[in-house]
Structure 1
């Protein structure tokens, strides 16, 4: 990667403008080899399909590829050096990943892209078949009959293309409606969850505040008679636990009183 970055060079001269006129050449001139090769394969591959197979529909790709390459080169030319050297050189349309996947597992590759490959094969086959039949009819039939059939073929082609476009539009419209309904449902569910969470937070905050108020009220010191259990509280003082004697059962209290009473009698006799 470092070697490829060192090969890059931002060029702004007249040769850059000349190279930008050829798809992929400007990128190669600045050192973006992967992008340049990708653009050349796309552009000249479309030209080869049009020339060798006689297909006219890939011609719409040529101006798109050309303008993309032209303005891409001039955008690279006008970047500051930091942005220029941060641009990643990679293949367009993930060509390298597709090639790697094809080499590693050909069967899995065809299964993954079976629908796209099928559509391309059908388009190419239908185009070639139509061109062959039209050429044969032109040789066999007289001129006016060929013109009639040619016009009918053009009308049918446009009708089939229009019907296909309408079908694709309806399909995307239905998919869009389903996605919108799903998005609305998810949004409603998300709003309900947020409302429940906010209500739970408010409830917890209120409960916590009430607990704090009770704690502040309970911050009082204890004073009183431990035998009777009478309590006097003074606010904002550290609470003191009740003596153990006040929490003793009644039987234990009576036993302690009996133990103390003989001692008191003996002391009175000694004094006398």
Structure 2
């Protein structure tokens, strides 16, 4: 059978899914195309909710990654498909790829691929793996942070979004890569509470202070800010962020000193007990 052209697969990969359709893997073509359209609709909805067109810049991050995964996978599958037809094929991007005519949509290879691509929406990959609590926590944290930053126009904290995004992507990938896929009657993955949420539940005082500060920021942005000039508003926003950072640094310094004093007292108590035991002997 005639070998598929890698160059044609590369050109067609600019529309995710089209190159897989050319190679003959219809299931993967549908997966990539649906995820591509889903990314467009998600960014559009996020921009509409936050009333900020700058969120369309997220497509500059999502599309190149989706295109790269689709391109590498499709180009590697050209050799794989040729080998299955009698040539000397190579392995695809994800090992264990079935023949394109195989009706099995949910083999382990496709599950890894779906998990990786779904994780472009933080939490979606975890939900696909059955980790509903972790997926819901990551998705809520990401979209709530994005909405809040757009609503309050606090672009200084925009670095939080890539951190959440990359954490969600690699956490989901390592979970599906290092753990056996669950059987039909079992979960296979341990769905623990997200560490950040467990920290909030263990430290209610800090959670309360965070909510108070957040409420003050909302009141300032929606009530006080429209009454101020642009220069004064800019200075106040900078001052608020600076005060938060300074307060957090002071708290960390005081906490470290308290820990050092407690460690010193405990070590002194141990030494005194040892000296007392020696005197008794």
TM-score (norm 2): 0.48
Greater Rg, structure 1 or structure 2? Answer: 1
